Structure 1
Amino acid sequence: MTSREKIIDWLNDAHAMELALEENLVRHAKDAEGDVTVQARIEQHVEETRRQAEIVRGCVETLGGEVSGSKDAFAKMFGAMQGMANRPMADTMVKNALADYAAEHFEIACYRALIDACEEIGAQDVSVRLTEILREEEAMARFLEQKLPGAVRTALADAA
């Protein structure tokens, strides 16, 4: 396998990751109905995630590959199951925030690795598109980090 083929494989993983997270985020937005700020930001990130999946698809094609249908199908199924895992629980917002925060950091790591890999093979145009995605993931991670303490306080108050 060439370096380009390996990067295409990793991009397919990233595409599948975005599809799985979209399913999960849609459920988390519904769970956040009591907090309009969180719900709106998650809904915004759902749209970002959909766009990111299309950008990653374009990156795969730019490098001469095709998006993997089997990875995508498995990812959507996994995302749907994961999105239901915390329901119905009194501390759903905390568990969702933890899962989303962890997912954002996983995405950040994936995109940093992909950016480095693309730069290594001289695919600067792909690297630039992935850097745009990375910035959105970092912004969402910061938002979740700011909101986590409030979710914890609310869950503890509800338990008292």
Structure 2
Amino acid sequence: MMTFAENYHDWLRDAHAMEKQAEKMLTAMAERIEHYPQFQQRITQHLTETQHQLSLLEEILDRNNVSRSLIKDTFSKLEALGMSLGSKLASDEIVKLAISSYVFEQLEIASYTALISAAKLAGDNAAIPVFESILKQEVAMAEWALLHLPDVSEQFLQRAAAPGAEAKK
């Protein structure tokens, strides 16, 4: 049976791996998006937020003497690479990226919501405001992604219907 702290530490490792995956995915997305500047700008902004979130998580891991999981980090990076490569093959890549962005944000929202509860029970009260701050950023990104999904979809459809225009990315 695992203690509150052991579960909490495991979830911290998961969050670190998840943010590593997000960093890889957002980097690939930002580099691929060419014809959707508003979407690219928001992805780039969230990439910066994600990199800061990673540093905050690493501080919490260090403060709790929790080692990072090389296996989880490596697996998450490979998964992000696979997602990136898969969307590159789609003729509607930008729409797939926009949908994936929203879905991934929901995963992050759920993870940080659970981490807040775990931190309380494990007695890591110093981490709670950090997780709450990260959670707000993830909620804001999810709301933005959902709000702008119709625009990205419409822009894609209009570009796809225009002779000679590249719509994919």
Residues 34-88 of structure 1: per-residue CA shift (max 9 Å, x gap): 1222111111111111111121122122223111122111211221121111114
Letter paired with 1:80: L
In the alignment, what sits opposite 2:120? Answer: 119
1:107-151 superposed Cα distances (whole Å, 9 cap, x missing partner): 001000000111122211111111111111111111111210011
TM alignment of 1:1-160, pairs within 5 A: 1-160=2-161
Aligned-residue Cα RMSD (Å) equals: 1.4
C-alpha contact (below 8 Å) 2:28/2:84 kept by paired residues = yes
Residue 18 (structure 1) shift: 0.6
Output the CA distance in 1 between the equivalents of 2:130 and 2:71.
24
Q: 55-64 vs 15-24, which deviates more?
A: 55-64
Aligned length in residues? 160
- CA distance in 2 between partners of 1:100 and 1:150 (Å): 15
Q: Distance in 1 between matches of 2:82 and 2:89?
A: 14
Rounded to whole Å, the distance in 2 between the matches of 1:118 and 1:87 is 38
Q: Is the 8 A contact 1:24 1:79 kept in 2?
A: yes
SS at match of 1:34: coil
Compare CA radii of gyration and give the structure with the larger one.
Answer: 2
Q: Which moved more, 1:107-116 or 1:73-82?
A: 73-82
The whole-number CA distance in structure 2 between the counterparts of 1:42 and 1:109 is 20
Contact 1:16 1:75 in 2 (8 A): yes
Q: Deviations over 1:85-118 (max 9, x none)?
A: 1114331111101111000011001000000111
Check the 8 A contact 1:108/1:138 in 2, yes or no. yes
Deviates more, 1:69-78 or 1:128-137: 69-78
Q: Which amino acid aligns with 2:108?
A: E
SS in 2 for 1:80: helix
* Structure 1 stretch displaced more, 13-22 or 65-74: 65-74
Q: Partner of 2:7: helix, strand, or coil? A: helix
After TM superposition, the score normalised by the length of structure 2 is 0.88
Structure 1 position 17, deviation (Å): 0.6
Percent of pairs with identical residues: 34
C-alpha distance in 2 between matches for 1:88 and 1:71: 26
Letter matched to residue 39 of structure 2 = V
